[in-house]
Structure 1
Amino acid sequence: MIGKATLADYAADGPADGDGGQGDMSRPVTIAFIAESAGVSVPTVSKVINGKSGVSADTRARVEALVNEFGYRKPTGANRNNVVELVFRELKHMWAVEIIRGVERVARRHRVGLMVSEFGLHDTAEPTWDDTVSRRPNCVLSVAQLSEAEREQLKAKGIPFVVFDPATELPDDVPFVGATNWSGGRAATRHLTELGHRRIAMISGPQDQLYCCARLDGYRSALQAAGLPVDPELVAYAPLTSEDGCVAARSLLALAERPTAIFAANDLQALGVYQAAREAGLRIPDDLSVVGFDDLPVVAWVDPPLTTVHQPLTEMAAAATELALTLGRGEEAPQVGLEIATTLTVRASTAPPKS
């Protein structure tokens, strides 16, 4: 959490000009300094400086008076490096390559450097952003989810950021780029109902991930539109890996009345379904239809090629980078949030069920 931190921690977040205010210039005039002097939190000072709501009139007046007294100057792009920092929680998934490709394409066109960071610290409850902040990138594109404290830390340092494919609900003023996950889930399931499937299972991702919930809601919507019941027995939850997809598929295929089709929340889970089907002696798509989500390049080459929802990861990453660079130049973005359309790619892993 960011609150009354030591002044040294915030020495670079916007020092005053030497001939600025009348305060004690032996101490660096930073947001943390202003917060300490006013007896408020760093996020509160950040809101006042950036003209945000949620601060009482008395507090706002007190903070503004101190800002003027000490001659605080908000950081500008002039003291940031010409680099986009792309932050992942983990880099092990195949879709990370597609995201990096999209970011690199835009960064190269704008002659901006690219730095990729990974915060895959499983033994730490709260991975630190101190290293990223100290590097002072032009802007940050975060595939890792940002807590409120982390967002305020970046704001306090004057570093613009964009969240890629948010996993949780964000405040209205937080810029993001995502995909039409609900529509994608609905299209995948509708494809299966139109083929004649009636026992359609879904392997969803973690229930605390916003995009997984949206895909699951799309699945439910398509079933209801087809006049089919939403059977909780046919919904499994698993992490977004092939190993966990295989485990979930085994349990679904072991049901007394097994599904004739499975929609997986991502392609990796779908590849796990392939393995579980082989173990059960089932042929895809003759005995079991399978649909994934993401359209990773590899799934066009599996046997049979996977029907999947195309999530335009490279295009999403490019759009997110353009948005981040716009904010990095101090310009107003045309829109804070952007969702890019998903499309269904039909291949050979789906077919009508056996009569």
Structure 2
Amino acid sequence: MTKPTKRRRGPSLAEVAELAGVSISTVSKVANNSPDVAEQTRTKVAGILSEQRYVAPRQRRAGGPRIGLLVRSMRLPNTIEPLRGAMERAAVAGMPLEVLLYRPRPGWIDDLQAHGIRGLVAISSVLDAEEREQLAEAGIALVVVNPLGPPHVGHHSVGATDWAGGYAAADHLLGLGHRRFGVLRGDDRSMVSQSRASGNLAALTAADIEPESIMTEPGDFTFEAGLDAALRLLARPDRPTAICAASDFQALGVIEAARQLGLRVPDDVSAVGFDDLVLASMSSPPLTTVRQPLDQLGAVAVGMLTDLIAGVEPESHHLELATSLVVRSSTAAPSKVRKRI
């Protein structure tokens, strides 16, 4: 009786090393993403690993596909909260998740494939069209959280109702009686920033606020940008009585600018942020802000990604989760007597 042939799961390191003309240790380093391999050699070996569909033993033992979470920085709260939600959802799904710091270099997508990554959640993606195409060619599904550009058919993404949140922020201030406004924009390369500012301006326009009573300032989402912009606005003789910021960090910059100029929040100027980070409730005064469900963004993205890996097309290529206004102590009706600078 003929003995059954034992089936193998892809090539061995020795076979890949022979094909690449390098040592087994070099192949192992590339397969495990070790840094001490020349870039040309890494690219060559990664290509062979991909062609031969090599999967590392530790990934074979894990059972099932692996997914990656691609981030630009681990220092940003807007990254940490989606990461937490993604990890919790991945754990429930029983799908191993790896956190990857985005460092563009030749062959990095081949490395993902060689490591058994079948799907990728990218936070505030910096991936260009070529990289997205390479991911598709490698069979790696992609879901972007808070995409920088407009959602595209065929590309899957998750975001928040930024326009509606911006509208709610300005509408809240209008309801308090404010009629002179500052609008702090975020990074205008980001659709998130454009949508929030557009929502602010739509509410003000609907309330027939005169254009000269709306003072917009460019910038980015940082505390420093909010501080610089607010110092300029609050030094004007016709300074705004209320400021809509594109992020909580910017709004905290507004509070600091008021302090430096001898003004009080909300007595002399009201401030509204966006995100509802932990710092928002800890500031002085506590910050009125628009909450976006950051942890849910990560969780929903992983859910969408697991569907894609399973061959199930989501109902929509872009999902938006609802924002909500959180009113705290940084907003109030405008003071009748304005303090002079």
1:85-117 deviations in Å (ceiling 9; x for gaps): 111122221122211111011011011122111
Which residue in 1 is equivalent to 2:241? 260
What TM-score, normalized to structure 1? 0.75
Alignment of 1:297-308 (within 5 A): 297-308=278-289
On the 8 A contact 2:185/2:216 being kept in 1, the answer is yes
Which residue in 1 is equivalent to 2:142? 161
Identical residues among aligned pairs (%)? 37
Aligned partner of 2:78 among 86, 95, 99 = 95
Q: Tell whether 2:225 aligns with 1:279.
A: no
Q: Tell whether 2:123 aligns with 1:140.
A: no
Which residue in 2 is equivalent to 1:291? 272
Q: Tell whether 2:87 aligns with 1:107.
A: no
Aligned partner of 1:339 among 299, 320, 326 = 320
Q: Within 2, Cα distance between the matches of 1:166 and 1:100? A: 15
Q: Tell whether 2:100 aligns with 1:117.
A: yes
1:31-58 deviations in Å (ceiling 9; x for gaps): xxxxxxxxxxxxxxxxxxxxxxxxxxxx
Cα 1:136–1:13, aligned 2, differ >3 Å: closer, same or farther?
same
Q: How much does 1:207 deviate? A: 1.4
On the 8 A contact 1:291/1:308 being kept in 2, the answer is yes
Question: How many residue pairs end up in the alignment?
Answer: 288
On the 8 A contact 2:118/2:139 being kept in 1, the answer is no
1:247-296 deviations in Å (ceiling 9; x for gaps): 11111111121111111100011111111111011111111100000001
Cα 1:142–1:80, aligned 2, differ >3 Å: closer, same or farther?
farther
Q: Within 1, Cα distance between the matches of 2:103 and 2:277? A: 22
Amino acid at match of 1:354: S
SS in 1 for 2:143: strand
Cα 1:149–1:246, aligned 2, differ >3 Å: closer, same or farther?
same
Which residue in 1 is equivalent to 2:206? 225
Which residue in 1 is equivalent to 2:162? 181
Cα 1:231–1:8, aligned 2, differ >3 Å: closer, same or farther?
farther
Amino acid at match of 1:217: S
Cα 1:287–1:154, aligned 2, differ >3 Å: closer, same or farther?
same
SS in 1 for 2:290: strand
Aligned partner of 2:215 among 188, 212, 234 = 234
Q: Within 2, Cα distance between the matches of 1:127 and 1:342? A: 38
CA RMSD of aligned residues (A): 2.6
Q: Within 1, Cα distance between the matches of 2:46 and 2:63? A: 17
Cα 1:243–1:129, aligned 2, differ >3 Å: closer, same or farther?
farther
On the 8 A contact 2:50/2:110 being kept in 1, the answer is no
Q: How much does 1:80 deviate? A: 9.7
On the 8 A contact 1:138/1:159 being kept in 2, the answer is yes
